[in-house]
Structure 1
């Protein structure tokens, strides 16, 4: 459609050409950049631009879309969520929507349906592996491009690692394509919800009818939650596949990996309907929102977004393919409210004990001058900023800390690096690295310490990531370099390894000066993340192709000059857990969203590349962690399992009453394993038996969202435990008296050392 008189001529650096469509939340334009690249620009309606809650949601939509990339999704190329009218530009994909395709030509044939099914499943694989749940997979959000489908519109998606932003009385989604839990328990939505939506969409594509079509949205919603799907016209083998996808319980649906294997068996010829084939709906889409997206060869119609979604613009950069799946898959076992106690079962002090074993562990003395304390990190770090400068990231801020002696260096989403005295909880200094920056995606992430410097990932905007070296005593910036926003940095010897901002090389820099010592050029067709195992640098590379199999290559880099030795070629594996002796421990890629267990542990000899598979027990599910040579698996339900890393033998498995636990911390001297939940509840288990020794009361009302790139963290300062919860509450306890009341460090910070005069800017 041509531009109207009220349309702008340009948005950002893009000149507008046509209107692709308009919806309830905004307008989508066809535009081109100065170089001629065509993009689809979504611009928010003016009335919503004045709503701060909506702006927050739009920032979250942009952040979610940026996290997703793949052959069957439309990537974000630019955005300005803080403009007078917020906007986002995605790569323009020529093609009609699936709803338009069925309106014009009727249901799909076998070859078209197979291509659609495999493309959508792969798109969901790309979406889920970075911790995002789409939540609005419907015909109007699928573009039928010549080379395969594209999933678009993350308008009501949510990062699975985030708390839902609720709006009273509003249901977000399109009932014919929503899952039962999305309608009845929206806070419990995981990637399994998208599998349900994919099942409904495939039935619609094959027959022109939805499996739960009713006379009204209310009746449709009831049938989705309570009634079996109508699959009479769906022929085998598709019938059996969609029947599993449409299971009422998320646990009964196939994971994406299994679903891809099943869909690969679909024939390219033959009947997909058992009777008549059904007819397409007159409106072209069962969602009834009247929107059009994409542009067909003679149509040129598209649509804007509907609904909103919450996410957290995380600053915890992970290797996007090999590591994000750990957070996105391993912790997606459920959610919702849960009760840990009944009244009176903790003796009234918030701590439940079960008695210590007979062989009493050795006590570790507390450091001199220590006291129990508690500090809200985001508030303390931003204490010098005006309220209007602060961004609303919800409850989950992805805070993390590194320690040097009795000092903590902490950062997270929406606040800069802050030094905290681990003895008292007082703030020593806070950098002003985020000053005068757009806070839509800002934050900081401490990486480690070397030679009196603390190294930090600093995100002054949601498109830029810098590696900073700060003076540990003052917080002053010593040097800064722009690095890749998709991979980590890692320290070894006196160097720090990171990926260049264009992702075409891995650069080893002198930690003291930031000067380049050597660089490893990433081969064509690969992406590589910087990683260090056992103080030795590696490149963890994955193939940049469209194959369903995820191939990765581990490259060992010479410390002196960066010369590379290809160590191993791996198929469908995660990032390494760490080294045990000379072996790197690696888990296969599985979908723990469905409770899948890890069938084996791969031990890779870092000297020779020799591989050995170690069978794992049935309880090897959830998040795997190698801690002090011990292998643990932590499920979101609270089950903790210890496994011998050499033999794979299960040592013990304990179902605890504390959900959403982070990485274990082992104290061999105390014969204890410590864990922390998203709400800051501490749990102590016997190292050799798994018996629960005690658990503390929570430190936060917020328990975490279930899937987060940054898990609750534990550190040790002498005999004291320091922990940080999902909402950024930092606290320290004596494990012998975890119920002791903390000092009010929040008030004390007002009289502590002021913000450092740090100028951590380019």
Structure 2
């Protein structure tokens, strides 16, 4: 349809593209046909003005762009340009002439024969490209499938989830379109896998073949119940597609066929239309819970049986409450089995909701409580090297842990038993490993005493511990992982004059760039939300500004972004923007312990323009700082924990735990609790909403060497707690924390 007069006057062009036609409109934006200066046609999605001011929406839009850019295949529409930080965010994809599947079925009726076979094969190949890019689409539906002359195209990655990073999953909400969602999207939205898209594919093909949805309860919340608890209606689906669809729509994600098998099965679909399965052949139309043809007209009769009815009513109440307060076009936010977020409480959990029965903990296969001593006698050449006051800990990768720290070399542990699988390196580390990515563990090593390099970045095989590559780096500054590589400082001087980015798989140089800003030449590597930065602070100065430099991941080009107050502490990102804690200026006669620093404000930085937003803090709060899900937690050495909301700096609660020297908190999404460990292996759980103590444990009988000088750490593997105190790692389950860990058996 042509542009309206208002559209022509207000947005006749955007991002260098002339808008020539209006292709359609949804709840979140308008899609235009655009033309570049060279004449190339693109589809330009322009966000509605009311959402442009919504930071949460901007995060979703950035995620859509990031996911779509990762996917490139014959059956997807690639992104050619975008600006998520513009005053009105927009994204341009290659224009695909064609109607959506939903439009074709509505106007011409269901597909059959060759057209249905081509659609099925094209969608499988599209999902293969999407999944190979590490992305789960999570909103595969008829309106997101374009039928072009040369085959289908999958579009709209607005709620996709990248498998190797933190997805935008709002606490207590689930994002998707109910009739085409999988059961696990309702039950465990943070844990959906590629199998979820297979379920959606089954629903979509049923719709394509019949014009009806296999789950259609007459309302979104009733449909959600059917997806989770009832069997699909497949009346009219011809064989062999019907049998394939039944397997795709299995409630058990592990029982669904994979894409390779589906491709083979769809190749064998007939090229000519076949008679659909009749009601007599498929059994009574009132299959489960009285569902059948009447359900097409909105039948919402409750299932028989008081237990089943009660479960349905509870779910419908929860879904109904969510739909009453939050809906965006056909992509609806759902609140499943938790109350709506409550003002003033992080994550919105109320005391009443926490009083309900705790869910069972998800455990690694074969898990039992365990503890393991991580020490190993170093080589004789290093026997006199002593490291104290360093950080010990582990990072997780699948069912394994990779640990390092003061007093021990790098070790791989089985997360279920604590058994040490391998050790690597000659000397104790000064910090835990950087992380695990694509089967590679990144850590450090001290080379031989007669070797020029003082410090090495090392890549180890996660399976064997074999060194894959190493590179000399500056010993003063830690390296960081970013999307595309590893960032470190060069070893060409005491402070290092360059940033150097290494290829994560080969260790080869990707690029080098001067480590400097307009403030100073002393910069440390930093990665926030997968983007490399430099944080530049004047040495031997307590007042000078700190420079923030954004580095282009592709070639290292430095962009002087902002000048920040002295001593800022990077916390992570909120709404896609870097967030820093700003320390309060101490009086001349005031002694401030680094672990008990007072903070005056939070500072949010626009990653494109460098614009700063300051959020004042009252109190001020003190201690080490950690950002978790929109809340900053300050932990003092005396055990006082303060929770502050990022959006406005409001204090949510403060709790004197009486447990000193706590680790950084870790958030359990299953229990909505914060978990801590202290230097001697004592564990603590605080209610996330109120800060009330949920439980605590006794210290370990013998945490090993020098726990008083080693920083404790904690992480979660599924729902199990893994903590490191001294040189001892141990694991307990949060719903039975006092079931004491036992020493792990040595590997035979």
Give the number of the structure whose alpha-carbon radius of gyration is greater. 2
Higher RCO (C-alpha 8 Å, min separation 6):
1
